[in-house]
């Protein structure tokens, strides 16, 4: 069984390079921002960070494929790097520090590609999280200065902290009633948004989170960090992994109830 540690070290190198590029333009008064066809923003920093990562991978892993948010798929084969150069672009362009570069390696297996390495780097927060299949999940300043992550043991909804991004997506999908019912049952709700609630689930600071509409590059890195920390990451359809176009993550103990409310079975 591969240990993926060389790939994890490479992912850290990629994240270091991306951090330097994105922080250099964070809060820049002349930052150029465009609107994509799906009406979401993209900054020059998004594009530059993805180009930088693709360049590094082209030299270090020329046989691997790459899927990135800004430039699509390049290459074929059983190994694919999945890149979101800035997850949280709306925060980035407004000067909010909650954004991160997401880097994952996915490998072909049963049920399609599965994440085997993930790095989530949030330089404006001074935080980084990572995982490799079979090696656990960690957070820290470097591979050698890190703390192992472990999800919480909260087992009752009335004691649970639930995180989400916004209300609008749940309403658009006709799931708002179930979502609101869930918020009434839990101890606490907070709309942290983007990658951050998944990392807090992995840390045990939040017990569960969910989003109604996501792309693969939003989820591949966060999924393996959550699962290697002992948690559960599925789509709203309960399919394991980052393949459903939406996500539900939890400490595992609360997952059935989380999905039950969001699918309005209660």
Distance CA 92, CA 245 (A): 23
User: What per-residue confidence (pLDDT) applies to 243?
Assistant: 95
Q: Which two tokens stand for residue 127?
A: 């935080």
How do strand 161-163 and strand 188-190 relate by DSSP bridges? parallel
Beta-carbon contacts of residue 188 (< 8 Å; ≥ 6 apart): 160, 161, 162
Distance CA 13, CA 32 (A): 26
Helices (H), the chain: 5-25, 44-60, 89-94, 168-172, 176-185, 196-203, 216-228, 255-262
69 among the known binding-site residues? yes
163 — pLDDT class (breaks 50, 70, 90): very high
| Domains of the chain (ranges, CATH numbers) | 2-142 (3.30.540.10), 155-261 (3.40.190.80)
218 among the known binding-site residues? yes
Asked if residue 244 lies in contact with residue 217, where contact means CB atoms within 8 angstroms, the answer is no
3 among the known binding-site residues? no
30 among the known binding-site residues? no
Q: pLDDT, tens digit, for every residue of 62-94?
A: 999 999 988 889 999 899 999 999 999 888 888
Distance CA 217, CA 41 (A): 16
1 — pLDDT class (breaks 50, 70, 90): low
pLDDT over 90 percentage in the chain: 77
User: What per-residue confidence (pLDDT) applies to 61?
Assistant: 96
Q: pLDDT, tens digit, for every residue of 33-70?
A: 777 666 576 778 888 899 999 999 999 999 999 999 88
pLDDT at 208 over 80: yes
pLDDT at 126 over 90: yes
User: What per-residue confidence (pLDDT) applies to 25?
Assistant: 76
Distance CA 252, CA 229 (A): 11
pLDDT over 70 percentage in the chain: 97
How do strand 112-122 and strand 100-109 relate by DSSP bridges? antiparallel
Helix (H, G, I), strand (E, B) or coil at 174: coil
- Residue 247 belongs to what H/E stretch? strand 247-250
50 among the known binding-site residues? no
Q: What's the mean pLDDT in 158-182?
A: 94
Question: Residue 209: phi, psi to the nearest 5?
Answer: -155, 165
Spatial CA neighbour of 242 closest among 87, 44, 98: 87
């Amino acid at each position: 069984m591969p240990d993926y540690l060389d790939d994890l070290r490479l992912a850290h190198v990629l994240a270091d390079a991306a951090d330097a590029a994105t922080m250099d333009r964070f809060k820049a008064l002349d930052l150029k921002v465009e609107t994509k066809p799906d009406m979401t923003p993209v900054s020059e920093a998004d594009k530059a960070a993805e180009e930088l990562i693709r360049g590094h991978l082209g030299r270090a892993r020329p046989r691997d494929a790459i899927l990135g948010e800004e430039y699509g798929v390049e290459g074929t084969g059983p190994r694919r790097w999945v890149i979101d150069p800035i997850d949280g672009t709306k925060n980035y362009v407004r000067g909010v520090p909650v954004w991160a570069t997401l880097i994952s390696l996915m490998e072909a297996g049963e049920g399609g590609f599965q994440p085997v390495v993930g790095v989530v780097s949030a330089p404006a927060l001074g935080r980084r999280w990572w995982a490799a299949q079979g090696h656990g999940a960690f957070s820290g300043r470097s591979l050698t200065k890190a703390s192992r992550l472990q999800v919480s043991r909260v087992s009752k909804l009335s004691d649970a902290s639930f995180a989400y991004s916004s209300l609008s997506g749940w309403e658009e999908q006709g799931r708002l009633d179930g979502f609101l019912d869930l918020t009434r049952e839990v101890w606490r709700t907070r709309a942290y948004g983007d990658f951050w609630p998944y990392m807090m689930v992995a840390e045990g600071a939040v017990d569960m989170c969910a989003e109604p509409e996501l792309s693969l590059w939003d989820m591949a890195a966060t999924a393996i960090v959550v699962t290697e920390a002992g948690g559960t990451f599925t789509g709203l359809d309960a399919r394991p992994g980052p393949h459903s176009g939406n996500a539900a993550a939890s400490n595992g103990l609360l997952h059935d109830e989380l999905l039950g409310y969001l699918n309005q079975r209660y």
